[in-house]
Amino acid sequence: MFIDEVRISVKAGGGGDGCMAFRREKFVPRGGPSGGDGGRGGDVTMVASGHRNTLLQFRFNPEHTAQRGRHGEGSNCTGHEGRSIEVEVPVGTLVYDDATGELLHDFAVAGDRIVIARGGFGGRGNARFATSTHQAPTEHEPGKPGEEKRLRLELKLLADVGLVGFPNAGKSTLISRISAARPKIAAYPFTTLEPQLGVVQFDDFTSFVVADIPGLIEGAHQGHGLGIQFLRHIERTRVLAHLVDVSEESGRDPVSDFEIVMQELAAFSEKLAAKPMLLVATKLDVAQDPSRIASLRKLAEDRGLPFFEISSATGQGLDALRYAMAERVIGRKQT
């Protein structure tokens, strides 16, 4: 199950109370105050992990609490500090304050960490209040409470190239041919129900990441189909590859398909619709009407978009498309 948005609660540990005590050992006249300070509460730290790719664990474990500090004790003994905890999140997670909507942190790289809730300080024991004129103090402080927050976590996958298009435009088949990803592939719409990532590698060990986004249909921004809930995962991409089915099997006009998806992208974010784009005509192996390809090619020329014709089934045009993607994201040119 792929979960990309959750709400959780974090609570740092409270500080321990300061102690009120007096020395009463034998042979120690007028022993004086000996109450120790309370221990500091534990922190809650969030850490970006490259080993996680979903927020699923938070669906079943939404509350994260650090240990409180122990109370101070006699003989000037300070209480133990509370144990801090680390909460792992996938790389690409954005953390918002659920109450205010403020962005607290963007975990863009593995190993990135932030103390999201700080533990409370321990209270002072009565030994801290002793002075030359106040030699038997009874004052002592309670520990300070730890920070407590309600957070909203939103995951945006990190990829270099995002694949967009209508359902059954050939996105899953393409990513399975150019990378080691193995998404479910079937001849019915909405086979892909969650984003898929694939790493495209070359012989010189250079690589880039491609994201396959579930298909869009007209009215997606109004919640039709799978809606636009997954488009956040291509907001970080550098290039979009817009796949359009030019075969007669779709029963739709390729140019119309392109325009509809562009409208849905713009409805989600004008910045997303303005990203650099490759226009890709797919399923050439079953395309019988050359005019459908020609109309899409003309649209690409009019818009100044690089145009590619591919068949993932036969492999036609895949190398040219791979290198075009690589040139735009890692500067690698075909040799």
Give the per-residue pLDDT at 182: 67
Give the per-residue pLDDT at 213: 80
pLDDT band at 228 (very low <50, low <70, confident <90, very high): low
Which pLDDT tens digit goes with each residue over 197-216? 788 888 777 888 888 887 66
* C-alpha triplet 283, 288, 294: angle, nearest 5°: 80
Q: What percent of the chain has a predicted confidence (pLDDT) above 70?
A: 90
Neighbours of 41 (CB within 10 A): 32
**135 plus 13 within the same structural domain:** yes
Q: Is the pLDDT of residue 221 over 50?
A: no
Convert 113-129 to b/e letters by CB count within 10 Å (16 or more is b).
Answer: eeebbbbbbbbbbbbbb
**279 plus 209 within the same structural domain:** yes
Q: Is the pLDDT of residue 282 over 50?
A: yes
With respect to residue 169, please indicate whether it lies within any of the assigned structural domains.
yes
**169 plus 296 within the same structural domain:** yes
The amino acid sitting at 207 is S
Average pLDDT in the chain: 86
Q: Please identify, among 155, 173, 196, the residue that sits at the C-terminal boundary of a domain.
A: 155
**189 plus 293 within the same structural domain:** yes
Q: Please identify, among 155, 182, 202, the residue that sits at the C-terminal boundary of a domain.
A: 155
User: Which structural domain, as residue segments, surrounds residue 96?
Assistant: 5-155
Give the per-residue pLDDT at 188: 44
Which pLDDT tens digit goes with each residue over 148-167? 999 999 988 778 898 888 88
* C-alpha triplet 147, 150, 156: angle, nearest 5°: 120
Strand partners, 165: 243
Which pLDDT tens digit goes with each residue over 34-47? 999 999 999 999 99
Counting the structural domains of the chain, the total is: 2
With respect to residue 334, please indicate whether it lies within any of the assigned structural domains.
no
Give the per-residue pLDDT at 206: 80
CB 152 within 8 A of CB 96: yes
Question: How far apart are the C-alpha atoms of 28 and 113, rounded to whole Å?
Answer: 50
Which residues, 6+ apart, have CB-to-CB distance to 1 below 8 Å?
Answer: 54, 56
**9 plus 82 within the same structural domain:** yes
With respect to residue 91, please indicate whether it lies within any of the assigned structural domains.
yes
Convert 154-174 to b/e letters by CB count within 10 Å (16 or more is b).
Answer: bbbbbbbbbbbbbbbbbbbbb
What would the DSSP string read from start to end of 280-304? EEE-GGG---HHHHHHHHHHHHHHT
**Could you tell me the CATH number of the domain that includes residue 261?**
3.40.50.300
**Could you tell me the CATH number of the domain that includes residue 31?**
2.70.210.12
Q: Is the pLDDT of residue 311 over 70?
A: yes
Give the per-residue pLDDT at 122: 96
Q: What is the pTM of this model?
A: 0.72
**195 plus 87 within the same structural domain:** no
With respect to residue 71, please indicate whether it lies within any of the assigned structural domains.
yes
With respect to residue 335, please indicate whether it lies within any of the assigned structural domains.
no
